[in-house]
Amino acid sequence: MKPSIDTQLIHTGEPKPRIGGAVSMPIFQSAMFEDGDDELRYIRYNNTPNQQVLGKKLAALEGAEAALVTGSGMAAISTALLTVLKPGDHLLAQSSLYGGTHSFVTHLLPELGIEVDFIDADAPETWEALLRPATRAVYVESITNPLMEVCNLDAITAFAQARGLASLIDNTFATPVNYRPPERGFDLSLHSATKYLNGHSDIVAGVIIGRGDLVKRARKKLKHFGGSLDPHACFLLHRGLKTLALRVRHQNESALRLARFLAAHPAVNTVNYPGLDSHPQHARARSLFEGFGGMLSLEVQGGQDGAERFMNHLTVPILAPSLGGVESLATRPAVSSHADMTPEERQQMGITDGLIRISVGIESSVDLIADFEQALAALEHVAL
């Protein structure tokens, strides 16, 4: 019987026999290794002990053949895309991508002679028309930022398989606890391990998980690009990973409670969370995911002013960008993740200046809700 993810997080991939009997994987702080194996070992070659142990564990977590750690989420994404695409190729990508990825596919890929078309990932009937003889891959995210949309992921893999395209997904928001893309037919699953996988907001790292042949090719590319994860960061990621299931399940529960509280509050206009019945893709999220994740976004009364006033009254969440750590965070995408876009582009995507994104941490949900309640009350006082 395959062990559950909770057990895999602790035991899978760990060296046997234990190195020097060490219960915790030691840090091999060595750039190169003595000749001996058939392959030269070097940190940039991504084949040192700390990197390899993580690769084995991460592959098992998503039920995949192989995995590779990288120096950042963007290193994983750019390396993976340049593994499946070459000059003259064409990519279909979901329209609402993470800012760094959006910028990479709209600016860097065309410089390399790779063309991109954006798809409405929720409208499978529109994809065929964008297909070209040179189309090689399709790229989506499991839950989009900051509106928390869940596209038709099963339709994406079916389409990719029928048309011989590589299917890639950024699974950062869902995490392997809630969704395992390789088990659902995706060729490559990518993560910013900076977020939930590490979970402690203290390193930048990335992961490529998926088909053995593609991960092997990605490893070769990464060797050229040089975006390797160093042994000490590997150690921190390894340590953080062990509590992934505990953290994410707490965050799933806490975010759902907070979302329900906010949706019922008179000073809140909108709440975007896939776990709410009112979410347009709630039924799909329920069938695809084991939990709805720790990310939500909301709009309060008073637009941008209201949002700023509300955020300044929050005492538990830290006002900071990024996500997926143990501490709750609040940020306004218009001035953080989506600041590079024009107001028109943001408006087109449905991102208002008053939209607030919350990354729910592992604090008590009672304290978190009480804190949101007092910050919303401060908002109501001003409105009177």
Ligand X SMILES: *Cc1c(COP(=O)(O)O)cnc(C)c1O
195, 247, 338, 357: residue in contact with ligand X (rule CB under 6 A): 195
How far apart are CB 39 and ligand X at their closest, in Å? Answer: 27
Q: How far is CA 264 from CA 257, 258, 278, in A?
A: 11, 10, 12
How far apart are CB 248 and ligand X at their closest, in Å? Answer: 15
Residues 54-73 contacting ligand X, CB under 6 A: 72-73
* Residue 198 contacts ligand X per CB under 6 A: no
How far apart are CB 291 and ligand X at their closest, in Å? Answer: 17
Q: Which is nearer to ligand X, 172 or 189 (CB)?
A: 172
3-state secondary structure 274-309: CCCCCCCCHHHHHHHCCCCCCEEEEEECCHHHHHHH
Per-residue DSSP letter, 361: -
In which order are the strands placed within the sheet that holds 135-141? 66-70, 206-210, 188-192, 166-170, 135-141, 90-94, 115-119
Question: Which residues, other chains included, contact 255 with Cβ-Cβ below 8 Å and sequence gap of 6+?
Answer: 273, 275, 292, 293, 294, 295, 296, 358, 360
* Residue 206 contacts ligand X per CB under 6 A: yes
- Is 44 a catalytic site residue? yes
Structure-token match 């994740």, residue found:
293
Query: By rule CB under 6 A, what string of x and - marks binding of each residue 134-163 to ligand X?
Result: -------x---x------------------
How many Cβ atoms are within 10 Å of 115's Cβ, its own excluded? 15
Determine the Cα–Cα distance for residues 20 and 359; give it in Å rounded to an integer.
40
Cβ-proximal residue to ligand X, closest one: 73
Query: By rule CB under 6 A, what string of x and - marks binding of each residue 212-251 to ligand X?
Result: ----------------------------------------
Give me the catalytic one of 44, 217, 242, 286. Answer: 44
Give me the catalytic one of 41, 57, 180, 195. Answer: 195
Contact predicate 61/5, CB 8 Å = yes
48, 194, 251, 297: residue in contact with ligand X (rule CB under 6 A): 194
Measured in Å, how far apart are the chain's first and last C-alpha atoms? Answer: 61
170, 187, 230, 371: residue in contact with ligand X (rule CB under 6 A): 170
Q: Which is nearer to ligand X, 77 or 267 (CB)?
A: 77
Amino acid at residue number 306: G
Give SS3 for 115. strand
For 4, counting Cβ atoms within 10 Å of its Cβ (0-12 exposed, 13-18 middle, 19+ buried), the class is exposed
How far apart are CB 190 and ligand X at their closest, in Å? Answer: 8
Query: By rule CB under 6 A, what string of x and - marks binding of each residue 83-102 to ligand X?
Result: ---------------x-x--
Catalytic residues, which ones?
44, 98, 170, 195
Interaction site with ligand X (CB under 6 A): 72-74, 98, 100, 141, 145, 170, 172-173, 192, 194-195, 204, 206
